[in-house]
Structure 1
């Protein structure tokens, strides 16, 4: 089974409800097993688009799906939760990103693993560090990135659940 870490976020409608629905849909797939889910964090948006704050969380799953099959299912989940891809980095009912997939390095334009922005976003890293173990192959890099971003950016993050 592949070890995969996801980032989930929502800033439209019932944000926490959207995250819970996404988790339920992921759990319903016969080839996905949800191992651990972080708490929920209210975070400021990044990317320059004026919009409401997000609720974000991280999730550790095991799956026998390959990266592209998992991405396809994630897109189905986003579609079921009425995700519209209208504005890059804009508001969305749900956003699910593959952060890490085993130790795979995949620089494909359709799917980059590790996620291209993983080490630049507090809303990804803070929930992630909550669910990874110290022996996770990127643990130290995650911790150092959090320290750097907390002192060098205006990204806000607050645990809400």
Structure 2
């Protein structure tokens, strides 16, 4: 039987009712084969990282216990994005749904399609703060403890807009 791995996913949306996009995506994460949704954060609003001529993003984080290999899990995440009408046109551009595989257990992965830990994870408040809500004791491979990363990362304009529940 394949090992069970605790994986963390970052969710983001800034098009077509972002809060609803994330709530629906969380339901869909819970239906991935051989995977169980074990925790989800509240929702957070923040300004876009890339081009500023776009709406604010809504972000969240989820913890998944999975038996899927990392690339199969990535395929499942991308299938959910596509079902939400995700189109990859512009880096850091607006999107209906963005699902990033942030961490896959304590593995470090360097593949053409996947880098884990997710690049920039340790310095992005819209990822760190939702993650801290569901896994405050987490260690980020190569970057130390989540609490240490938070201490070096101001929340800036990040605003919690909805609690999980």
> What TM-score does the superposition give when structure 1 sets the normalisation length?
0.91
CA offset at residue 133 of structure 1? 4.0
- Counterpart in the other structure of 2:17: 14
Give 2:145's match in structure 1, choosing from 123, 141, 144.
Answer: 141
Give secondary structure in 1 for the equivalent of 2:12: strand
Greater share of helix: 1
- Counterpart in the other structure of 2:98: 95
CA offset at residue 31 of structure 1? 1.2
Deviation per CA, 1:15-57: give whole Å up to 9, x if none.
1110011111111223110000001000111124421101100
CA offset at residue 125 of structure 1? 0.3
After TM superposition, the structure 1 = structure 2 runs for residues 59-74 of structure 1, keeping only pairs within 5 Å, are 59-74=62-77
Name the CA distance, whole Å, in 2 between partners of 1:156 and 1:140. Answer: 24
1:51 maps to 2:54: yes
Name the CA distance, whole Å, in 1 between partners of 2:157 and 2:136. Answer: 24
1:114 maps to 2:130: no
1:158 maps to 2:150: no
* Number of aligned residue pairs: 157
Contact 1:35 / 1:60 at 8 angstroms: preserved in 2?
yes
| RMSD (Å), alpha carbons | 1.6
CA offset at residue 13 of structure 1? 1.0
Give 1:42's match in structure 2, choosing from 40, 45, 48.
Answer: 45
5+ unaligned residues in a row in structure 2: which ranges?
none
Runs of 4+ aligned structure 1 residues displaced above 6 Å come to none
Contact 1:37 / 1:131 at 8 angstroms: preserved in 2?
yes
Name the CA distance, whole Å, in 1 between partners of 2:106 and 2:64. Answer: 14
Give secondary structure in 2 for the equivalent of 1:160: strand
